Amino acid sequence: QSVLTQPPSVSAAPGQKVSISCSGSSSNIANNFVSWYQQLPGAAPKLLIYENTKRPSGIPGRFSGSKSGTSATLGITGLQTGDEADYYCATWDRSLNAYVFGTGAKVTVL
Amino acid sequence: QLQFQESGPGLVKPSETLSLTCTVSGGPISSTAYYWAWIRQSPGKGLEWIGSIDFGGRSYYSPSLESRVTISVDTSKNQFSLKLTSVTAADTAMYYCARDGFDTSFFDYWGQGTLVTVSS
């Protein structure tokens, strides 16, 4: 059972915006950097956001990250069919002494 | 551009040891800024960090797996390896190697993954 909770699924029409939440605690999100990953069907995860808000080279500006207290959020604007994937948040947990991943959220483009 | 390639047996018998190697190309594994990680994903499930190691052999493991895991590094071959002992069906998973940003908590390069099935 993951200590980072995400909604199982989110959906929106093409061109719309979705937000994916990642809820944690003082031992993880509140005091550590959060990263976000996109996993397309049958593929390895891909880093989308690191250090809460930063995008690696090559990641479109449609993807954004934010953090407040014990929660983090991934936003995707201008939704495209190619964005259909599972999305995971991750951070370090000081109590568990381990990296932890979120439960994962499946994005569906209607 | 860094590339990672996992290799090892795709089938392991229960109670035996799972052994995988990750070969890194496109850059040296002997970077002081990064660690090198193993992460797994059970079929249809989420991601689980197994452990990480730096080029000098300093390692840290998930407490839930620590008693069964050893990660080692071979800088001469630009490789790092995973050993997981006493495997059960619960260890059946896709195993990924990745670069660990350590202090900044991210994994920026990943291998394609290798499926390991535990079955007699």
Which pLDDT score is estimated for B102?
Answer: 79
**Which amino acid is present at B64?**
S
pLDDT tens-digit map of B72-92: 999 999 999 999 999 999 999
Minimal Cβ distance to B46: which of A34, A46, A103: A103
Report the C-alpha gap between A50 and A73 in whole angstroms.
12
pLDDT tens-digit map of A12-67: 999 999 999 999 999 999 999 999 999 999 999 999 999 999 999 999 999 999 99
Kindly write down the DSSP assignment for every residue of B25-58, as one continuous string: ESS-S--TT-EEEEEEE-TTS-EEEEEEE-TTS-
Mutate: best of B39, B102, B107, B109, partner A, most A CBs <10 A: B107
